[in-house]
Amino acid sequence: MGTSFSVRVVDSEGEPRSGISVYANFGLMHGGLTERTDDNGWAEFEASGDYVTVELFVDGESEGDHGLEDGETFSFTVD
């Protein structure tokens, strides 16, 4: 079974940011995935496995640990 989720990155005016690196860290035993945001500010993730939490890094900065369910979406603002 797998988990899919999306991360949207916008600037302080709410405009999408493209090309931003988003890293999803599933922990020491599970590793992580890196995606870049598209023209609409979205990074899409498909992870093999059922995860409860993920630590998200946007443009190299930790955005903390987040509860994770299949189909979840997250949004972050960067300058």
**Structural domain tally of the chain?**
1
Q: What is the CATH number of the domain that holds 70?
A: 2.60.40.10
The average pLDDT across 32-48 equals: 95
The average pLDDT across 34-53 equals: 91
Q: What pLDDT is stored for residue 29 in this prediction?
A: 79
The average pLDDT across 39-58 equals: 91
Q: Which long-range contacts (CB under 8 A, 24 or more apart) does 47-52 make?
A: 47/2, 47/3, 47/4, 47/5, 48/2, 49/1, 49/2, 49/3, 50/1, 50/2, 50/3, 51/3, 51/26
pLDDT bracket for residue 43 (50, 70, 90): very high
* Residue 49 reports pLDDT greater than 80: no
Q: What pLDDT is stored for residue 21 in this prediction?
A: 98
Enclosing H/E stretch for 5: strand 2-10
* Residue 44 reports pLDDT greater than 70: yes
Q: What pLDDT is stored for residue 2 in this prediction?
A: 83
